[in-house]
């Protein structure tokens, strides 16, 4: 068979059956003019990659846009180093709790007991400090409370109970236990924790350093270690992980433990900032943390998310509150704006996800059913 460029059209000529050469096929090659380029779907991946980039990096663009808008609207007070440190410090507490919620969600569970975990950790630490316990030991005891709560939540959940119901029950129990430890009062004057609360190092507030360490270690753990990658896999499809021979329940418990540990850390940092351990579990903690996680585009079904995006989500909340405060806008408008941003981000996530799915399906169809010449 002979070929030529452009791609030849092949015509098969059959030999009569009664011919001696009946078993031989001859192929006649006839050149035809080249047809116009036919869409093959090769341009689609670029559009898909842009949509995926917008989905995964859109929150960074949103934060930059907010900073630019407030820099002009709140000039000259907003775009300064001192105000940037205020924003970072204000975002620190939200970021710690959001990291706990985010890692739990990535693992496939939603831990709503974080306010109670923070309260019991703070009260245990405060009680120990008031009774002369060394500061480091009181802090370790407070963090241990978070680990114990995480193990308890995890072990109950893997028995087949709904994690949301379990953690709501834990929230109630922990709030009551914190009140019991504190005797219904607070532990004021905890100046031993100033070093991790109101202290500044190189003019940067101490909580900012704590957040930097938490997110750096957490990101490396989730993306560069075997245990972290398996943790994310369990959040995406626990049954598939189990069938591959991995003990998925163990990683679910690990997700609860990490979430509880970060909740306890958030409670201790809050205590250090205000120099007081309060047994009251504020529901605002879980609300702001969930908002930051949702803004970050973390899939509530688990298996997909990014801690750096969660950090930017916390910074967005702090930036909005700070900018509106500088302009003298009532604080409740910050709540309204945050809610609108949250709804907008969920709608955008849905639109982008549908668009990506449709384009990928179109690409596959064009590739499979591509016209041959």
Averaged over 226-253, what is the pLDDT?
A: 82
pLDDT digits (tens, 9 = 90+) for 268-309: 999 999 999 999 888 888 888 988 988 887 877 666 778 999
Supply the mean pLDDT for the chain: 82
Reduced to 3 states, what is the DSSP secondary structure of residue 366?
Answer: helix
Helix, strand, coil distribution of the chain in percent, nearest 5: 70, 5, 25
pLDDT digits (tens, 9 = 90+) for 247-257: 888 888 999 99
Give per-residue burial for 29-42: e unless 16+ CB within 10 Å, then b.
Answer: eeeeeeeeeeeebe
Integer Cα distance of 131 and 127 in angstroms: 6
pLDDT digits (tens, 9 = 90+) for 142-163: 999 999 999 999 999 989 888 8
pLDDT of residue 232 exceeding 60, the answer is: yes
pLDDT digits (tens, 9 = 90+) for 167-195: 999 999 999 999 999 988 889 989 999 99
Instruction: Using pLDDT thresholds of 50, 70 and 90, give the confidence band for residue 38.
Output: very low
pTM (2 d.p.): 0.81
At 54 the pLDDT is 66
How large is the C-alpha radius of gyration of the chain?
A: 29
Choose the weakest-confidence range: 122-136, 208-222, 242-256, 352-366: 352-366
Integer Cα distance of 273 and 207 in angstroms: 8
Q: Which of 56, 74, 57 is nearest to 66 (CA)?
A: 74
Helix (H) or strand (E) holding 239, with range, is: helix 238-243
């Amino acid at each position: 068979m002979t070929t030529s460029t452009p791609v030849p059209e092949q015509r098969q000529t059959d030999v009569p059956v009664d011919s001696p050469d009946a078993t031989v096929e001859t192929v006649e090659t006839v050149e035809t003019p080249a047809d116009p380029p036919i869409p093959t779907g090769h341009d689609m991946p670029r559009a898909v990659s842009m949509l995926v980039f917008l989905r995964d990096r859109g929150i960074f663009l949103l934060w930059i846009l907010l900073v630019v808008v407030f820099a002009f609207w709140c000039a000259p007070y907003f775009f300064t180093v001192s105000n940037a440190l205020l924003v970072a410090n204000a975002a620190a507490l939200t970021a710690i709790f959001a990291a706990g919620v985010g890692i739990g969600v990535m693992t496939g569970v939603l831990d709503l007991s974080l306010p109670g975990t923070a309260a019991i950790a703070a009260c245990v630490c405060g009680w120990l400090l008031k009774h002369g316990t060394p500061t480091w030991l009181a802090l370790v005891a407070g963090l241990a409370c978070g680990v114990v709560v995480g193990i308890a939540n995890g072990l109950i959940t893997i028995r087949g109970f709904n994690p949301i119901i379990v953690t709501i029950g834990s929230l109630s129990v922990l709030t009551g236990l914190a009140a019991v430890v504190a005797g219904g009062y607070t532990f004021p004057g905890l100046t031993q924790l100033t070093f991790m609360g109101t202290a500044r190092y190189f003019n940067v507030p101490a909580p900012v350093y704590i957040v930097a360490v938490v997110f750096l270690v957490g990101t490396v753990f989730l993306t560069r270690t075997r245990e972290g990658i398996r943790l994310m896999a369990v959040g995406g499809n626990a049954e598939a992980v189990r069938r591959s021979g991995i003990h998925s329940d163990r990683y679910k418990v690990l997700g609860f433990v990490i979430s509880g540990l970060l909740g306890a850390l958030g409670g201790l940092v809050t205590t250090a900032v205000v120099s007081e351990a309060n047994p009251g579990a504020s529901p605002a903690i879980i609300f702001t943390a969930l908002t930051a996680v949702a803004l970050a585009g973390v899939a509530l079904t688990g298996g997909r998310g990014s801690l750096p995006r969660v950090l930017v989500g916390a910074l967005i909340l702090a930036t909005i509150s700070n900018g509106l405060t500088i302009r003298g806008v009532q604080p409740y408008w910050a709540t309204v704006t945050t809610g609108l941003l949250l709804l907008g981000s969920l709608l955008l996530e849905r639109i982008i996800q549908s668009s990506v799915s449709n384009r990928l399906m179109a690409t596959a169809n064009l590739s499979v059913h591509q016209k041959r010449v």
